[in-house]
Amino acid sequence: MLTLLIIALLYLQQGQAKPKLKIGVLHSLTGTMATSERPLVDALRLAVEEENQTGGVDGRQIEIVVADCRSDADYCAQQAEKLITQDGVKALFGCWTSACRKAVKPVIEKHHHLLFYPVQYEGLEQSPDIIYTGAAPNQQIIPMALWALQNTGNRFYLIGSDYIFPRTANLMVKDVLLAQGGKLLGERYVPLGSGDLALAVKEIAALHPDFVINTLNGDSNQQFFRELREAGISSETTPVFSTSIAEVELAAMGAEWMAGHYAAWNYFQSLPTPENKKFVARFKQRFGADRVLDDPMEASYIGVKLWVEAMRSLKTDNLSSVKITLAQQTYLAPEGIVAVDHDNRHLWKAAYIGRAGADGQFEIIWRSEKPLQPAPFPGYRSRAEWLVMQRGLPEVQP
């Protein structure tokens, strides 16, 4: 009798529910960024649900605490503070714009906490407390610009939204392309969200560049491609290479406008790897067959997976241990193998260039031979030089 009691007690102890692990999500569910950021929350949700179904972390279920950043960087920083201090989250996933990231970064660093940032950005940043799961410029815009130069001609034109990412990325594009004998015909920036692209398109029509590097963000893109079409500029004569149009944006603006033009990413929904096919199937089963996946969503998904892998191998949620392990973490992602760079905590990623089809998907026409090492600070200038140059850009305030 007593023996049975003891056995029962032991069994109960084994089966006792462990406290949940909380993670914080910082994305805008309202405001201008909502269209782009909402799907990322879905991707995070998918990742967490998958992990919970396979037992969570060491028997602990993961719970998502979503904070709506309302498309306001400062508010987002407050939410980060709240998630860390009040909700006691073990890691944060979020931000889209550089402004948001730059506002949240000091909060994360103050608490020596952990943030996964999922979007390609302008580089020139690194933090012991942030894992950048999106691309650095040398993993997206630079290979794309070089490919364009080799395959279309050397006369190029730069169009972008007027903020830190296009201005900084184009600094690097110009360095690389001019060193390869490229000729810069024009460079134009329009305010973020501006629909006034007539001037730029007129200029493109007059200059006949061999290709255009497009770092426009948001609604400006639709207007840009519409104006191009109206000006009779086709993808055959003047292909446009975009950095900020993925499947989600393509679906939102109408795929037919961009058909034949190019975009570079580290993930396309059309990637034929078995991991990706399963990923797409799982996502559609969970969120609907009409939904599309894109690079920032996959990067968000990767973030959760990397974190869970690190936690599992450690069997502790101690933040500094997690960060040490994360610095060497690798993962077989839908996009291929990704690995955290030990030095700068960005991901080694393969780069892809895709040509947009009328169906809203990209046909992959080029891929990097192997994953590219992230270089947030391109080595041909010192970090100090880069930061001084960036501060000198218009529209970039420290």
Partner 1 sequence: MRQMFRLKNLTITWRLVLWFVVVALMPLTLFGYLSLEKSGEALRYETLMRLNLLSDKKTLEIKTYLAERREDAWLLSRSKLVDEAMPVLLHAYSQHGSRSAQYLNAAKPFQRSFAAYIGSGDSTLFYDVFLITPKGEIIFTYQHEADFATNLISGPYRETGLARVFNQSRMTLESGISDIEKYAPSRAKAAFISVPIIRDGVLLGVLAFQLDTQRIYHVASDSVGLGKTGETVISTYYDTQHVMYIAPLQREIELDLFKPRDFGLVPLPMRQALSGIQSGGIVEDYRGVKVLAAWRYLPELRWGMVVKIDADEVFVPLYQQRKNLLGILLALAVLGGLVAFLLGHQLVTRIKRFSSTADEIARGDLSRRVEESGSDEIGTLAQNFNRMTENLQISYRSLEWRVDERTRELQVSNEQLQEEIIEREHIEKALRDAQEHLRIAATTFETHEAILITDVRANIIRVNQAFQDTTGYCAEEVLGKNPSFLSSGCQDSAFYAEMWQQLLANGTWSGELWDRHKDGHIYPKNLTITAVKNILGETTEYVSIFSDISERKRAEEEIRNLAFYDVLTQLPNRRLLLDRLHLALSVSARSGLYGAVLFLDMDRFKRLNDTLGHGCGDLLLIEVAERIRFCVREVDTVARFGGDEFVILLEEVGKNADEASQKAALIAEKIRAALSVPYKIKEHEYHSSPSIGVNLYCGNGSAVEDLLKHADMAMYEAKESGRNAVRFFDPVMQHSVSERASLEADLHRAVPERQLELYYQVQVGRNQHSLGAEALVRWIHPTRGMVSPAQFIPLAEESILIIELGDWVLDAACRQLAIWSETDLTRHLTLAVNVSGKQFKQRDFVEKVARILQVHQVDASRLKLELTESVVLNDVTDVISKMQALKALRVRLSMDDFGTGYSSLSYLKQLPLDQIKIDQSFVRDMTFDQNDAVMVQTIIDMAKNFGLNVIAEGVETEAQKILLEQLGCLNYQGYLFSKPLPIARFEALLKENCKLRDVACG
Residues in contact with partner 1 by the rule CB under 8 A: 2-3, 6-7, 10, 138, 142-143, 146, 175-176, 178-180, 309, 313, 325, 328-333, 336-339, 341-343, 348, 369-371, 373, 375, 378-380
The beta strand positions in the chain, using DSSP E, are 21-27, 62-68, 91-94, 115-117, 130-132, 155-161, 183-190, 211-215, 240-242, 262-265, 330-333, 336-340, 347-348, 352-356, 362-367
Q: How far is the CB of 6 from partner 1 (least distance, A)?
A: 6
Q: How far is the CB of 8 from partner 1 (least distance, A)?
A: 13
SS (H, E, C) 313-367: HHCCCCHHHHHHHHCCCEEEECCEEEEECCCCCEEEECCEEEEECCCCCEEEEEE
Collect all residues with Cβ–Cβ distance below 8 Å to 224 and sequence separation of at least 6.
159, 197, 200, 201, 214, 216, 240
Q: How far apart are CA 368 and CA 175, in angstroms?
A: 20
Judge contact between 361 and 268, C-beta under 8 A.
yes
Q: How far apart are CA 17 and CA 13, in angstroms?
A: 9
Sign of the C-alpha dihedral, residues 160, 163, 169, 170?
Answer: positive
5 class by beta-carbon count within 10 Å (0-12 exposed, 13-18 middle, 19+ buried): exposed
Q: How far is the CB of 24 from partner 1 (least distance, A)?
A: 25
Q: How far apart are CA 370 and CA 37, in angstroms?
A: 29
* Closer to partner 1 by Cβ: residue 296 or 376: 376
* Closer to partner 1 by Cβ: residue 212 or 340: 340
Judge contact between 64 and 20, C-beta under 8 A.
no
Q: How far is the CB of 371 from partner 1 (least distance, A)?
A: 6
* Closer to partner 1 by Cβ: residue 198 or 380: 380
Q: How far apart are CA 308 and CA 68, in angstroms?
A: 23
* Closer to partner 1 by Cβ: residue 174 or 226: 174
Q: How far is the CB of 275 from partner 1 (least distance, A)?
A: 9
* Closer to partner 1 by Cβ: residue 105 or 346: 346
Q: How far is the CB of 342 from partner 1 (least distance, A)?
A: 5
Q: How far apart are CA 138 and CA 140, in angstroms?
A: 6
Q: How far is the CB of 380 from partner 1 (least distance, A)?
A: 5
* Closer to partner 1 by Cβ: residue 138 or 238: 138
* Closer to partner 1 by Cβ: residue 133 or 325: 325
Q: How far apart are CA 217 and CA 166, in angstroms?
A: 9
* Closer to partner 1 by Cβ: residue 197 or 338: 338
Q: How far is the CB of 229 from partner 1 (least distance, A)?
A: 32
